[in-house]
Structure 1
Amino acid sequence: MLEAADHVRVALVRATAGLPGDGGDLLPGLAIGDTAQVSPRLTAEMKASSLTHLTAVSGANCAIVVGLVLWAASAIGLPRMVRLAVALLALVGFVVLVTPQGSVIRAAVMAAVALTAIALGRAGRGLPLLCIAVIVLLTTDPWLARDYGFALSALATGGLLLLAAPIARSIARLLPNRLALLLAVPIAAQLACQPVILLLNPALPVYGIAANLLAEPAAPLVTVLGLAACATAAVLPGLASAIGWLAWLPASWIAAVARFFAHLPGAQSPWPPGVIGILLLIAVTVLALVAVLGGSPARLRRLARAALVVGVVGYLASVAGIHVVTVAGRPADWEFGLCDIGQGDATLIRSGGEIALVDTGPDPKPLAVCLSDLGIDHIDLLVLTHYDLDHVGGTDAVVGKVDRALIGPPSDPGDHRLASELRAGGARVDQVSIGVHGVLGALRWDVVWPPDTGVEPGNPASVTITITPGEGCPACLSGILLGDLGEESQDRLLGLMHPGHVDVVKVAHHGSADQSPELYAALHPTLGLIGVGAGNDYGHPTAKLLGILTANGIRPLRTDLDGMVLVAPGAQPHEAVVWKQKPGGDEATLTGPELTARDGPTK
């Protein structure tokens, strides 16, 4: 059975492979939970708009399968017990097809108990069925309690069973009953699930309910058509492809809804992480339910409403105040920026309103957050130093926003696909080597590595650029960005370019030990920018690298300790103003601006 299920899944992916855009990538996920084709960018957008649950097969999918099988069995006149047995077998087959994940098992057990109750002539009520399913599963496998999919599935179902009806009655005081019910379903699910969602992402999806309201009606259609395509893909691939095109339309709608809401201003509002954040959210949820739902004493409802108003106003004021303080405290003329994107590189250079981005980090989401935080929605020059995931994994966040991209020598088909995606997004893509140059506002950039020949793709061939002030900007800072060059490549670079002093160096390879002390001594920069993840397994930055920086009077600025870093020109030549936002999402813990002069103390 497992082999047959694998064959069916592969057949569905093959039958829908030609479907374009995000809708084609999302279709297998919506139909059978296969998200292998979903890009990191779309995954981040689904999370930001609170639509990820649509690709996690759960109760709705199982209900559709069981309902369709019961309807078909009834249509051909099968006896009642046979109909139930066939539905149960179809449910088992569906679980095998989509793989038995926590959310799927919860829904399947609940459906199986319901079918058994019907067979015994008893009515199955939702809440007892959910309780039986949860107790049976946790007794059988206690580790399911740590499964986010299981927890979210159980909470969403419980929220719908307990909260949807009273919330709908409250909304019906202002809106028609049908519309009230449509609004109540996503509200109930969101309220029940949000405390657990905070563990995955310490932020509130501001537009989550609106996004679900628009996307949910399309989900059953995708599921039914996707299952039809799945059922015919192995034997009638042409028919499966035709059905896939029909399913592509609602799948594309869901993807468009996710993208629209994910890119609205303030799509995710910050919230305290950890246990404190969860307890605060639970308190706010309880206050909201007491304030809105009937059944509570009038005095208690008034107190809850007053507390809720005070809390919401205080929250909005604190978020707005922190944002104002953060933006106001940043140097307006910053030239170099280092995004806090974990273990990876994403370095910004700004001049004259133009933006260059060197590498995109491992994941689109933190890069998108950094760019949005800095008000950047267009990239004039993108440099991908090499193709390791921690340098190109976030590229989806900027596809369609880039004018020109510089890339190094590719080594496999995936590298070529990345270039093709950038071109499809409207970028001019050039594979570069020593000698290519250009301007960015008042700055000049030069490619100083790799050479045309004699270097293997990968770290040794990292595209390395220098930044020098143009004639119109004598106070601008200079810099060099070393990608992931190792000591051997750094020594060869030193022999080729004979560099003099620069103000800023993007330290090579996240501060690994594979460094050339002679190169750093020749560059003698004021600041060393290190893109590195907190608690990384590589030991970056290493003691050797930090020793090299110390020996040459170079001040390290590292994202694991300093968070996002902005560097602006100071009042004197070779003087830099440093602004830091410490990691952890707490924008109140700001340090800076700090003044750093070459060979001088921090003032």
Structure 2
Amino acid sequence: MSAPPAVEVAEVDARDVAPRVVVPRVADARLALPALAGWLAAIVLVGAPAAAAPAAVTALALAGLAIGVLRRRGCAGRAGELLAASIPSVLAVAVLAIAVALAAPARTPPALSAALDEGATVDVVLELEQTVVAPLETDSGFGGWGGVSADALIVAVGARMPDGSERPLAVRVPVRVLGLPVEGRLPLGTRLEGTVRLIPLEAGDDRVALVRPVSDVTPVAAPPALLGGADSLRAGFLALMAPFAGDGAALLPGLAIGDTTAVTDDLDAAMKASALSHLTAVSGANCAIVVGLVLGIGALARWPRPVRVGVALVALGGFVVLVTPEPSVVRAAVMAAVVLLALVSGRPARGLPVLGLAVLGIVVLDPWIAREYGFTLSVLATAALLVLAGPLAAVLERVLPAWLALAIAVPLSAQLACQPVLILLAPEVPLTGVFANVLAAPAAPVATIVGMIACLLAPVIPTLALLVAGIAWLPAAWIAGIARVCSTLPGALLPWPEGAVGALLLAGLTIAGLVAFGVPGRLGSARLRRRVALATAAALVVVMGATAGTAALRSLGRPGDWVIAQCDIGQGDAVLVRSADAVALIDTGAEPELLEGCLDTLGVGRIDLLVLTHFDLDHAGGVPAVVGRVDRVLVGPTGREQDEAVVAALAAGGAVVDLVAEGRYGTLGAHEWRVLWPPAHRGVEPGNDASIVVELRGGPACGDCPSMLALGDLGADAQRMLAAAQPLASVDVVKVSHHGSPDQHEPLYAQLGAPVALIGVGADNTYGHPAPDLLAVLDAAGSTVVRSDTHGLGLLAPGGDGSSALRLWVERGAVERGALEGGDVGPPR
């Protein structure tokens, strides 16, 4: 069967099943290869900005040398052709190196250097780079705690002048604000003022530092009129969706305007498990829809080409402002703009060169975007659709109708390209992804287009907007239903080796599988393809068997006699202690479903003692999973209505709630527990530094029971006061404070000398937890670090055979042993 005819592609991504999707028979890589070279250079150089200038000089010298050689000797022969073809890529590396060298100094201006190096406080003006809203109420009737986190720019910093006065200096430093108190809604572009402490991040991070407010951070300026008007439209659309219920109402704002605040954690997990996460929020397909609509209307109205293109550019800019500039939308908008400018010039733009130009332009403007997963996935999906969808469709047409072959080829090509990168985020392959995307594809454009129309109508004709929103709700609910069903099918997720090894392994098997199926068709003979197919199938069986076998062996090796368990509940704490059939739970994490899964895995039905160290969401958000299952609860000071709601919910479930402070004590099976913090006679404001610190040690009947100290989220100053006020003895296990943040009193960990340090932390969290400096402190203290992000569930059990040691078991990954020898912890104290 002959290959399909070549047709130009202006914009496609993992959501597109556009009517003009076909791929040229021979990919034009003249701009794609330099873009790839520049992108790789940016990935390397943003992690080492000091090397950018030497790299630029070297690349320019190499390009000049190559040009000189070609001028003297010409371009004859294969070697000359390769040399000539390499020059654009070398120049792209030089351009990106120059961009990094020029941008790096502005990211760490002298006015902030002291605050970054010494952790000193500084007065700043922040400008929000995203809209933030107060946490939504949960189904249990109480909501979030501890503020929200948001990306922002430091646009001004207070600097002391030689005459002693303080004057604001203008800067532009990208940061991540932690614990931002929000009541209601703060639109993108809002300016806030306050005193903060900066926590520096690695050079390659897109954010320069984490910002922790140490005083009230208050709004001082509203966003510009354009941004404010766009936020009013978004807020109006969210209000318009209030009468609707279910997953459709939660998903539609993300599909139409990029607002995901209503998407619940379980719906988000279902979308990811079914490979539909690209539909959770706006992606590049929306740009194609907007441009296509405007150009179509202009063609019907017989507007001149320059007018059509100009109106399309304006509409595209307005759309980006409306949905906020996420990496995939920025990439798609730049690409669409290049295509439109090519149209007005009368020169056709082929898809792959346009993508290359868009990638190169975006990375030059912001080199630090090169490392973002969202940007990477967006580019890979688009490139796959431009290069791979056509050949895949041609192969599938041998056994399927052309329309069905194309419908399957589009999501399959995107998933094949993106899955190796997704392995780095979650070591699993969604087997139902293609099926789910085929079913969802017809509904996605309808929900997007009709939803945007409802958003624009809301401030003008609310009644009509409500009717239109109801129409858009139907396809959104259909997509959410597909995600729910596909994510729960048997075998929906295939376990896969994690990390870079797993990603490279999947990429290699994917390429081999494509070759085996004749994609591209002109590569290799039929005999070679059969051999590759057999080898690929054998390798796949071996990998699947090894992965499943390893998981089964780990499950079989999981100690049933565990005494301490750290649950893998994302960014948060949930630690269990079991003693003589009594169970204590210290904090619950943020998500009830994850906590419930951990409790079910460990066979814990009843909790004798629940310790809520404080009421932040990542410590108390999972409470709904244990309401009605707890006998006694220890809580610290409450300061907000939602804190009181947590206490009331637990009491209504039959728990006895005790407000405790330093000096309280009791028993848990063969253990004795004692509260060391907060102080009983000195007022402490609710929050991190009011965390309950609880110590557990073996009682008289259990001299060999392991000891543990759980530090909640105490900051360095509170830890220092704790160490000064309490005679802290060494322990076997320390629950590290605040998920491993850098705000720690280092001598405390040396004093405790714990052979095992537990850190409850979410994978790829935006807080920089755990901090490298803290890990070095724990290593110096001889502690084996057990992290929930890399190790999953962690269990400590008795050594057996009369040994006083403890055995450590982790669900995945390898443990840096530290003081641990052969899996055993030294004798408890």
State TM-score, norm by structure 1.
0.74
Q: Is the contact between residue 568 and residue 598 of structure 2 (CA under 8 Å) also seen in structure 1?
A: no
Match of 1:271 among 489, 497, 500: 497
Q: Are 1:513 and 2:745 matched, yes or no? A: yes
- Aligned partner letter, 2:255: L
Q: 1:413 to 1:188 in 2, by over 3 A?
A: farther
Residue correspondence of structure 1 range 366-515 to structure 2 within 5 A: 368=594, 375=601, 380-381=606-607, 383-388=611-616, 391-392=619-620, 395=621, 403-404=628-629, 406=633, 408-412=636-640, 415=643, 432-434=658-660, 455-456=683-684, 457-459=686-688, 461-463=690-692, 481-484=710-713, 486=718, 506=735, 512-513=744-745
Q: Are 1:566 and 2:795 matched, yes or no? A: yes
Q: Distance in 2 between matches of 1:494 and 1:141?
A: 53
Tell me the equivalent position of 1:51.
Answer: 276
Residue correspondence of structure 1 range 79-478 to structure 2 within 5 A: 79=303, 81=305, 85-112=310-337, 114-115=339-340, 128-136=350-358, 138-139=360-361, 141-142=363-364, 143=367, 145-201=370-426, 203-259=428-484, 267=493, 269-274=495-500, 276-293=501-518, 295=521, 296-339=524-567, 345-350=573-578, 357-361=585-589, 368=594, 375=601, 380-381=606-607, 383-388=611-616, 391-392=619-620, 395=621, 403-404=628-629, 406=633, 408-412=636-640, 415=643, 432-434=658-660, 455-456=683-684, 457-459=686-688, 461-463=690-692
Residue correspondence of structure 1 range 506-585 to structure 2 within 5 A: 506=735, 512-513=744-745, 529-531=757-759, 536-537=770-771, 539-540=773-774, 556-559=783-786, 563=791, 565-571=794-800, 575-581=804-810, 585=813
Q: Is the contact between residue 427 and residue 497 of structure 2 (CA under 8 Å) also seen in structure 1?
A: yes
Q: Secondary structure at the match of 1:575?
A: strand
Q: Distance in 1 between matches of 2:732 and 2:249?
A: 47
Report deviation, 1:43. 4.3
Percent identity (aligned):
41
Q: 1:73 to 1:111 in 2, by over 3 A?
A: same
Q: Distance in 1 between matches of 2:805 and 2:515?
A: 54
Q: Is the contact between residue 756 and residue 786 of structure 2 (CA under 8 Å) also seen in structure 1?
A: no
- Aligned partner letter, 1:337: A
Q: Are 1:598 and 2:823 matched, yes or no? A: no
Q: Is the contact between residue 298 and residue 308 of structure 2 (CA under 8 Å) also seen in structure 1?
A: yes
Higher helix share: 1
Q: Is the contact between residue 339 and residue 370 of structure 1 (CA under 8 Å) also seen in structure 2?
A: no
CA RMSD of aligned residues (A): 5.1
Report deviation, 1:103. 2.2
Q: Is the contact between residue 805 and residue 825 of structure 2 (CA under 8 Å) also seen in structure 1?
A: yes
Q: Secondary structure at the match of 1:578?
A: strand
Q: Secondary structure at the match of 2:797?
A: strand
More off after superposition, 133-142 vs 528-537? 528-537
Q: Distance in 2 between matches of 1:455 and 1:575?
A: 41
Q: 1:179 to 1:352 in 2, by over 3 A?
A: farther
Q: 1:261 to 1:539 in 2, by over 3 A?
A: farther
Q: Distance in 1 between matches of 2:323 and 2:580?
A: 52
Report deviation, 1:94. 1.3
Report deviation, 1:289. 0.7
Q: Distance in 2 between matches of 1:207 and 1:591?
A: 43
Q: 1:301 to 1:542 in 2, by over 3 A?
A: closer
Q: Distance in 1 between matches of 2:382 and 2:237?
A: 29
Q: Distance in 1 between matches of 2:472 and 2:646?
A: 27
Tell me the equivalent position of 2:223.
Answer: none
Report deviation, 1:196. 3.5
Deviations, residues 160-217 of structure 1 (Å, cap 9, x unaligned):
2332233234334455554443322211111122234345445434443344334433
Q: Secondary structure at the match of 2:774?
A: coil
Contiguous gaps of at least 5 residues in structure 2:
1-225, 762-767
Q: Is the contact between residue 795 and residue 809 of structure 2 (CA under 8 Å) also seen in structure 1?
A: yes
Report deviation, 1:559. 1.8
Q: Secondary structure at the match of 2:577?
A: strand
Q: 1:140 to 1:484 in 2, by over 3 A?
A: closer
Contiguous gaps of at least 5 residues in structure 1:
none
- Aligned partner letter, 1:537: A
Q: Distance in 2 between matches of 1:383 and 1:289?
A: 54
- Aligned partner letter, 2:434: I
State TM-score, norm by structure 2.
0.56
